[in-house]
Amino acid sequence: MKLATVRTATGTTAVRVEGDRYVDLGVADVGALLALPDWRERAAAPGTPLDGPVEFAPVVPRPGKVLCVGLNYRTHILEMGRDLPEHPTLFAKFAEALIGATDDIALAPESDAVDWEAELTVVIGAPVRRADEAQAEAAIAGFTVMNDVTMRDWQFRTKEWLQGKTFEGTTPLGPVLVTPDELPGGVRPALTVTATVDGETVQKADTSDLVFDPVALVRYASTILTLQPGDVIATGTPGGVGHARKPPRYLADGSVLVTEISGIGRLQNRARTA
């Protein structure tokens, strides 16, 4: 099943996506849907067909938590000459950073180093704390696509990364949530993640190369606090970010960033000076 949050004249609504058809589920957004204990039944119910075209909001517009993971692709870590990490590096974004699948990325005038990070992203579908393996698997509602757009100059101002990671209106999330039963590998999906900038492929990797897979990340994060329905965990980015290029390359006014994961979908966002 594929679910999305689309904009309406009065706000947003959650839809089931069936090819190029959209079925209105009568709930404000996918986050509100996932908060219903019977969300799987609600999402599968007949619903009302919605006339297109539609405009995607962030698939979960206001997640209680946007957790992110640094340094998590085995091949990329080893090629950088680093040891594989013992623990995940966790950081966060706030909901104000999120945008829809085709919205513009706000280039803040305060940054000269706006970079891309294509990421497979877990969406939580049930409250879970100190999850064992089976509980973590069951708590994963599905997967979506995020680009963890990052102001590198702000990220590296201090040892903590947060300030470069959560500029407003920068981070596309969507277009859809896909349930694990539709993906090869299920809750540990083996998918191709790519990013292009102005048509040039800059990142390409297999999501089965993660050091800490989605189930391991749910277990780890839920040790710290309860994960709630609608929370998202971006699982980290593979090699190919602009900051690592020589010379570095960043998004400029008008740059088109396309972020795609096979079997899930595609984000296409134009960078615009805010």
Residues 29-58 that bind Zn ion (CB under 5 A): none
- In the complex with Zn ion, the residue whose CB is nearer, 13 or 170, is 170
Closest CA to 249 of 204, 206, 198: 198
The string over 247-274, giving b where at least 16 C-beta atoms fall within 10 Å of a residue's C-beta and e elsewhere, is eebbbeeebebbbbbbebbbbebebeee
Binding mask 136-155 toward Zn ion (x if CB under 5 A, else -) reads ------------x-------
Which range touches Zn ion (CB under 5 A), out of 86-94, 113-121, 122-130, 259-267? 113-121
How far apart CA 189 and CA 179 sit, in angstroms, is 11
**What letter represents residue 13's amino acid?**
T
Stretch that binds Zn ion, among 130-138, 184-192, 229-237, 265-273 (CB under 5 A): 229-237
Q: 161-192: buried (b, 16+ CB within 10 Å) or exposed (e) per residue?
A: beebbbbebbbbbbbbbbbbeebeeebbbebe
117 touches Zn ion (CB under 5 A): yes
Instruction: Tell me the C-alpha distance between 45 and 27, whole Å.
Output: 12
Nearest CB to Zn ion, comparing residues 29 and 117: 117
Report the nearest approach of Zn ion to the CB of residue 9 (Å): 34
- Nearer to Zn ion (CB atom), residue 228 or residue 237: 237
Q: How many residues of this chain bind Zn ion (CB under 5 A)? A: 3
Mark the segment that binds Zn ion (CB under 5 A) among 39-47, 114-122, 135-143, 259-267: 114-122
| Residue 115 in the binding site for Zn ion (CB under 5 A) | no
Give the torsion through C-alpha atoms of 132, 137, 141, 143, to 10 deg: 120
Q: Residue of minimal CB distance from Zn ion?
A: 148
Indicate the residue among 164 and 230 with the shorter CB distance to Zn ion: 164
Nearer to Zn ion, 148 or 213 (CB): 148
Minimum distance between the CB of residue 117 and Zn ion, rounded to whole angstroms? Answer: 4
Neighbouring residues of 125: CB distance < 8 A, sequence distance ≥ 6: 34, 39, 139, 140, 141, 142, 229
Kindly state whether residue 237 participates in binding Zn ion, applying the rule CB under 5 A.
yes
SS3 call for 177 = strand
Nearer to Zn ion, 144 or 237 (CB): 237
Applying CB under 5 A, which residues contact Zn ion? 117, 148, 237
